[in-house]
Amino acid sequence: MSATGQAENAADPSGPGDPRRTVEEVLLGGGRVWTRRDIAERSGVGPERTAQIWRALGFPVADEDARVFTDADVEALRAGERLIEAGLITEESETMMARALGHHLSRLAEWQVHTLWAWMNNDSAAPWDDEELMGHAAALLPEIELLQRHVWRRHLAASTGRLLAETQGDALAGQEPGKGRAGKAASGPVPPREGADVRDRAVGFTDMVGYTRMTRGLDSAELVEVLDRFESLTGDVVAEGRGRVVKTIGDEVLFVCESAQAAADIALELAARAEAEEGLPRLRTGLAHGAVLSRFGDVYGAAVNIAARLTAVARPGTVLVNTVLAGELAGMAPYELKVLRPVSVRGYNRLRPVLLRSVRPVAPRIGERTG
């Protein structure tokens, strides 16, 4: 089913002249004409199953007789059935896929709506009428879809390339695909149908130090500027270092890399650039290397937890790593490693951090005195 936003919790907009109905018909490719029973009959997917998928997309289940579904919803259900018949997914993984799509696309849709709304209201002296609004929506929607499809395909190609490279690397090393260097996945083999992959990776958490205290003195525009600069900085550095941003959570970013060295370079570069960025809080990063479960775009496992704990105890402008990642870097010229005393953190009574430094000098923070 099409995931177009949380506005689906309302019934069909009342009255043919209601602008919401016109907007929906443009966005959804037609009006809401079908009930839950109708779409079940037309798609061949049972009512309980359609309700399960609808909830997974992030929408509340409609009343039995409410006409809230479109022809596009019916076709989306049929497409899911065709993927199941082809053996690509199962009913279980279809629900998981729907949940992942709904989660990510709802955030994208919310941002796009706010962006369009701000653009429409730039000239408050000349409000748009409904006809003008519909004309712009009909013209811009294909452009937005084209851009989204292109970016999705680029990421699809990049992910496929990484997977093929990993598989070839495993084959050359005499390992089974998808397993670690010891030939075993730390959490045991993961069935492909679950849409998951377990392999050794480096995980990093980076956050802004003193973010909560700083935000108390900022208005909304100033806060947006700080967040934009933080996300731009971390996104650029991670991309340049051939890592992948998994998600941003407020003042914190989670990223993964295929190697410990790549993660170390990214973390040190983040610290250096933040030091040179006036008005941006200092950053701290925790890194860990180990078995990581990748599932529907997110990552899980002990390495993820350890990286988060290390970030919480790191001092401003520093990078802490776990002993496994330190072992991967040992003997490499660009890095200096210092084992610190064990710390007690949530879930780990004696977690031993290792301080990571670059042997290259770090530029002084702009505006700071150097002597």
The pLDDT tens digits of the residues spanning 79-132 come to 999 999 999 989 988 998 999 899 889 988 888 888 887 777 776 556 666 677
pLDDT at 234 over 50: yes
For 134-149, how does the pLDDT look when each residue is reduced to its tens digit (9 = 90+)?
Answer: 777 778 888 989 999 9
Q: Of 107-121, 246-260, 317-331, 341-355, give the lowest mean pLDDT range.
A: 107-121
pLDDT at 151: 93
How sure is the predictor about 303, in pLDDT bands with cuts at 50, 70 and 90? very high
- What is the percent of the chain with per-residue pLDDT over 70, rounded to a whole number? 82
256, 203 contact by CB (below 8 A):
yes
Exposure of 94 by Cβ count < 10 A (0-12 exposed, 13-18 middle, 19+ buried)? Answer: buried
How sure is the predictor about 212, in pLDDT bands with cuts at 50, 70 and 90? confident
pLDDT at 30: 84
Mean pLDDT of 204-226: 89
pLDDT at 363: 46
pTM for the model:
0.75
Task: List Cα–Cα distances, 306 to 183, 210, 228, 287, 344, in angstroms.
Answer: 23, 21, 27, 8, 12
Exposure of 175 by Cβ count < 10 A (0-12 exposed, 13-18 middle, 19+ buried)? Answer: middle
